Structure 1
Amino acid sequence: MEAILKSYFGFSAFRPYQKEVIQGILRGKDCLVVKGTGSGKSLCYQLPPLVVGKTGIVVSPLISLMQDQVMALKQRGIKSEYLGSTQTDYTVQHKAERGQYNILFMTPEKACSVSTSFWSKLKTAGICLFAVDEAHCISEWGHDFRVEYKQLDKLRDVLPGLPFVALTATATEKVRNDIINSLKMKDPQVTIGSFDRTNLFYGVKSFDRGPLFMNKLVLDISKYVASGGSTIIYCTTIKDVEQISKALEEAGISAGIYHGLMDKTSRAESHRLFIRDEVQVMVATVAFGMGIDKPNVRQVIHYGCPKSLESYYQESGRGGRDGIASVCWLYYTRSDFAKADFYCGESLTENQRTAIMESLMAAQQYCSIATCRRNFLLSYFGEKSQSEKCGNCDNCIDSKKERDMSKEAFLLLACIQSCWGTWGLNIYVDILRGSRAKKIRNAQFDMLPLHGLGKEYSSNWWKALASQLISNGYLTENIRDVYRTISISAKGKKFLNSVRQDCLPPLILPVTSEMIGENENDSALSEAGKMENLATYFQRRENEAF
């Protein structure tokens, strides 16, 4: 194994977990491998075929990804090729049937559609493994579910006794279990590496789409271009891609673009220019995704929040693959979290809809937390952090202003309790701000004693506070189809029950960037005003009870 590692790949030692996985495969064990981006998962299925002199079958989701891998392997002297579902040239298939390849890549569609006789000939020539790359695509609970991946279990009957190897960089415990069950793995060897990319700095900021922010973004990017590092900017829409690339061009910064509406040739050329450092900035949608292995990306920017933390981890993980310090900034607006109905198409199953909603909620929570972002990511993927603060994210290095928000928290919690906790956040905020919209009047929420008591704060301020209360366990978000409702948790009820007139238990929370602005600059409620409002509320509540 070590000799082949050195002669074909040029490495003198294995990375963590690689050797154990390869040994498991050579013993005929089914294996599930969950390792972070850039950790060397591919070697786990590339090396065994060279050891035993048989063909390794690898299922991969994208033709472009397979082409890149085949090219790289051929350059190392490893005989490899790919089969796609639209290929009409049968030369590759015939050579594969005679065992002339070390590694044969296939799309999931092709793997499920080739004849049984093809598999029989392959087995006769010699197969040593069946690997499923990007295996999170199997699971309806994953962030990139593909129906074709779900059908791969049919091949267990066609290939009895062959070790199945599933590999992914992003899989929660629920997704891992789904992969094992879907592929009918028997007592698999499960290897989970660390998700901690210590050289990456994580930062999050809310922003307003407009010329001021765009100018700042261009200025930040120009600094990295000047230092020789590469930057990837991920956008949620093609319109944003075009707007940012135009702003960079006007600033004299050459940038490539990449999105799904470009033709195949244009995308390939844009990819080539970026990989070869002929352009240092790539502005792209998530179409610029799997298989991007450029070591010197110093900055990954998300212009808009991704639809899941899995997507964010994978995309941000394309920075700093050479181990050198890199930064990952995520800029978001509250409208990013209202896209559930856009992501949840009618063709999706209930499980898929729920998974999308849960993923979006987790991404929103990541944006709004005031604690360590790295620890939040690690916890999401089931890994326990070693310390309370990582020292390499915006929340850990910035000393955040804190204040007692017990009065504001009380108003929001009391409002939610008065509405039975069955509505979305916007309704509660509208009540506190004194709205007399038709929906409010029809439900007679304008008659509540606390209606209008929070009008001195903006809608965004109240929503930012709600995010803090969710993060700290006072409120709970619930999924109903593609809608979210907010209710009070047991911890929140305990806080409410401890309230006495004019006497609130302290509730110290960080002041986030969304809470700093016109409302925070002396125009917010004065302490006396707050107490007067609360006293009025208590008095009205007591009178009604009497």
Structure 2
Amino acid sequence: MTNLNKVLKERFGFNEFKPGQAAILEALIAGQNVVGILPTGGGKSLIYQMMGSLRPGVVLIVSPLLSLMQDQVGRLNFLGEAKAIALNSTLDQQTRTDVLRHLGDFHYIFVSPEMLTNPSIQRALRQVQINLMVVDEAHTIVSWGPDFRPEYLQLAAIHAQLNRPQLLLLTATATQKMLASMLTVMQLDVQHTKIVRLSVNRENIYLQTTTLDNEGQKREEVRRLVQQLRGPGVIYFASRKLATSMAGWLNDHTDLRVAAYHAGLDAVARFTIQQQFMQDELDVITATSAFGMGIDKNDIRYVIHYHLSRSMADYVQEFGRAGRDGQSSIAIQLYVPGDERLQLDMIRSTIPSEQTVTQVYGKQIDETLLDATQLELIHYYQSQNISASAASAIFARRLRERLNELQHLLHYVTLTSGLRDELLTTFDEPVSGDVHHEGQGVLTVADIQNLGLMRQPITVTDTSDARPSWQQKIDKLFNIK
């Protein structure tokens, strides 16, 4: 019988497991496929890291973002694990060829779903012993798969081609409907799959919604909040352009150090900004929603949503970046009537209409006139030998789902009470009846003080004796303590 607590202490330096971790590990050791739904900060990565130290073979981790892969490889390196690599677009052709030739030498391999569809990578993986196949941020299977990154829908087939290694799906948020869809897509039998699910209720995060009259008021409210709230903080935007412009505006109009973080930046810039934020050299990150998943910092005190998220599940995933250390934190959703139009436009611009599908399948349109994302999506379904009518039905169903999800989030944002209970109901959890750790309207100075989140004035002092040691800097950089 493996002494998991001994391994946890000796290999990873922790005295006890976080809730859910031991149950997942025990199920994996027993040979079961597992779905782990643990809150953000629940220590999901430690689970597959420990499985890699307990059994021989490669741990294959399917990850949605380059920044997540780089972060996890860096942490494993820090722990003394040199045999970890991210198979992604940053590798040149020669390096990739060398890595594939010696793939069995690695213990942890991180890969995107798109890269995993590459036949040469699949061939190389079939030649090695796969200890465990992990799908990290597994909610993306259903939230991104049908209409954004359809390669996620091929994971079950790829899993079969790799001789069906043991599966571990990890996420922080999944409704019962999302969970059922994840199991269906991955062809997992619920009767023979261990489900370890913890509550999404993060009691240390205060929930706040604020409705304002216009965009000018919203911008000023952001400036007021970041000047009064104790950081560090993250502000989410649905637009790269606005995330960038707001970072510049806040730098000009506050004494804070602010940077934008999104897919429009090159890999070096993203990595630099992420590390500056980890080391407290930046106070605020303005991020797009998708790239917020790459921000992994324990002591984020506030998350502000300038725009609406895609859904309640996405919103919970995003504000879950706050308070991972268990300390008092706040999630603030700002809203101006009509804000939903941005998400509506994004939904309609990404999901092809029946007419567009018919025209592309029938070669009745100049494809250079079409949106590149829609065209790529249609071509994917064509390549899977899915008929035009079937593809149109899939897109129509997905459009209805996306619109319903947005409407549900809009309902939450405009509630006059019961924010936490609405959140819990969404995830089929018992309501708490807690109306004291939430608020609607403009957050007051008294509210901020009561939460212990008032920012202290900056004072210039001699900090030579308080300067952190190199060990402290490294621990913070890799979120070790």
| TM-score relative to the length of structure 1 | 0.67
Do the aligned partners of 2:147 and 2:398 also contact (CA within 8 Å) in 1? no
Name the residue aligned to 1:316. 319
Q: 1:13 aligns with which of 13, 16, 21?
A: 16
1:106-141 per-residue CA deviation (whole Å, 9 max, x = no partner) reads: 111222224454233213xxx221111111222258
Give 1:208's aligned amino acid.
D
Cα offset, 1:370, TM superposition:
2.1
Name the residue aligned to 1:366. 412
1:216–1:181 distance in 2 versus 1, CA, 3 Å: closer
Name the residue aligned to 2:285. 282
Name the residue aligned to 1:193. 198
* Match runs of 1:89-100 below 5 Å: 89=95, 90-97=97-104, 100=105
Name the residue aligned to 1:330. 333
1:396–1:9 distance in 2 versus 1, CA, 3 Å: farther
Find the aligned partners of 1:283 and 1:161 in 2 and give their Cα distance: 40
Cα offset, 1:367, TM superposition:
0.7
Find the aligned partners of 1:272 and 1:377 in 2 and give their Cα distance: 32
The farther-off stretch of 305-314 and 243-252 is 243-252
| Max Rg structure | 1
Find the aligned partners of 1:288 and 1:141 in 2 and give their Cα distance: 13
Q: 1:241 aligns with which of 243, 260, 272?
A: 243
Cα offset, 1:239, TM superposition:
4.1
1:316–1:118 distance in 2 versus 1, CA, 3 Å: same
Q: Secondary structure at the match of 1:334?
A: coil
Name the residue aligned to 2:454. none
* Match runs of 1:254-265 below 5 Å: 254-265=257-268
* Match runs of 1:451-470 below 5 Å: none
Q: 1:378 aligns with which of 416, 419, 424?
A: 424
Do the aligned partners of 2:199 and 2:429 also contact (CA within 8 Å) in 1? yes
Find the aligned partners of 2:37 and 2:156 in 1 and give their Cα distance: 19
Do the aligned partners of 1:214 and 1:247 also contact (CA within 8 Å) in 2? no
Give 1:256's aligned amino acid.
A
Q: Secondary structure at the match of 1:356?
A: helix
Find the aligned partners of 2:123 and 2:434 in 1 and give their Cα distance: 57
Task: Name stretches of at least 5 consecutive residues in structure 1 with no aligned partner.
Answer: 399-546
Cα offset, 1:377, TM superposition:
0.9
Do the aligned partners of 1:129 and 1:162 also contact (CA within 8 Å) in 2? yes
Find the aligned partners of 1:198 and 1:300 in 2 and give their Cα distance: 15
* Match runs of 1:86-165 below 5 Å: 87=91, 88=93, 89=95, 90-97=97-104, 100-115=105-120, 117-123=123-129, 127-139=130-142, 146-165=149-168
Q: 1:391 aligns with which of 436, 450, 462?
A: 436
Do the aligned partners of 1:230 and 1:297 also contact (CA within 8 Å) in 2? yes
Find the aligned partners of 1:178 and 1:238 in 2 and give their Cα distance: 30
Q: Secondary structure at the match of 1:67?
A: helix
Cα offset, 1:163, TM superposition:
1.1
Give 2:125's aligned amino acid.
W
Cα offset, 1:361, TM superposition:
0.6
Misfit runs of 4+, over 6 Å: 141-144
1:69-111 per-residue CA deviation (whole Å, 9 max, x = no partner) reads: 00111100123112126742123223323xx222111111222
Find the aligned partners of 2:320 and 2:12 in 1 and give their Cα distance: 23
Q: Secondary structure at the match of 2:338?
A: helix
Name the residue aligned to 2:479. none
Cα offset, 1:173, TM superposition:
1.3
1:27-85 per-residue CA deviation (whole Å, 9 max, x = no partner) reads: 22111111211111112222112111322111111222111100111100123112126
Name the residue aligned to 2:462. none
Find the aligned partners of 1:33 and 1:316 in 2 and give their Cα distance: 19
Name the residue aligned to 1:544. none
Cα offset, 1:149, TM superposition:
0.9
Q: Secondary structure at the match of 2:39?
A: coil
1:214–1:295 distance in 2 versus 1, CA, 3 Å: same
1:211–1:243 distance in 2 versus 1, CA, 3 Å: farther
* Match runs of 1:122-521 below 5 Å: 122-123=128-129, 127-139=130-142, 146-186=149-189, 187-224=192-229, 227=230, 229-248=231-250, 249-338=252-341, 339-344=343-348, 345=350, 346=352, 347=374, 349-385=395-431, 387-394=432-439
Cα offset, 1:179, TM superposition:
1.1
Do the aligned partners of 2:278 and 2:297 also contact (CA within 8 Å) in 1? yes
Find the aligned partners of 1:336 and 1:214 in 2 and give their Cα distance: 13
1:313-353 per-residue CA deviation (whole Å, 9 max, x = no partner) reads: 11111111111001111101221223424323224712221
Find the aligned partners of 1:297 and 1:208 in 2 and give their Cα distance: 28
Find the aligned partners of 2:347 and 2:126 in 1 and give their Cα distance: 41
| TM-score relative to the length of structure 2 | 0.75
Do the aligned partners of 1:82 and 1:105 also contact (CA within 8 Å) in 2? yes
Q: Secondary structure at the match of 2:127?
A: helix
The farther-off stretch of 62-71 and 330-339 is 330-339
Q: Percent identity?
A: 31
Do the aligned partners of 2:146 and 2:398 also contact (CA within 8 Å) in 1? no
1:152-171 per-residue CA deviation (whole Å, 9 max, x = no partner) reads: 11123323352111111121
Give 2:13's aligned amino acid.
G
1:294–1:140 distance in 2 versus 1, CA, 3 Å: closer
The alignment covers a number of residue pairs equal to 389
Q: Secondary structure at the match of 1:122?
A: coil
Find the aligned partners of 1:53 and 1:22 in 2 and give their Cα distance: 15
Do the aligned partners of 1:390 and 1:396 also contact (CA within 8 Å) in 2? no
Alignment of 1:45 onto 2:48: yes
Do the aligned partners of 1:372 and 1:395 also contact (CA within 8 Å) in 2? no
Name the residue aligned to 2:80. 77
Aligned-residue CA RMSD in angstroms?
Answer: 2.4
Find the aligned partners of 1:148 and 1:183 in 2 and give their Cα distance: 12
Give 1:14's aligned amino acid.
F
Structure of higher RCO (CA pairs closer than 8 Å, 6+ residues apart): 2
1:93–1:175 distance in 2 versus 1, CA, 3 Å: same
Q: Secondary structure at the match of 2:19?
A: coil
Task: Name stretches of at least 5 consecutive residues in structure 2 with no aligned partner.
Answer: 353-373, 378-394, 444-481
Do the aligned partners of 2:144 and 2:150 also contact (CA within 8 Å) in 1? no
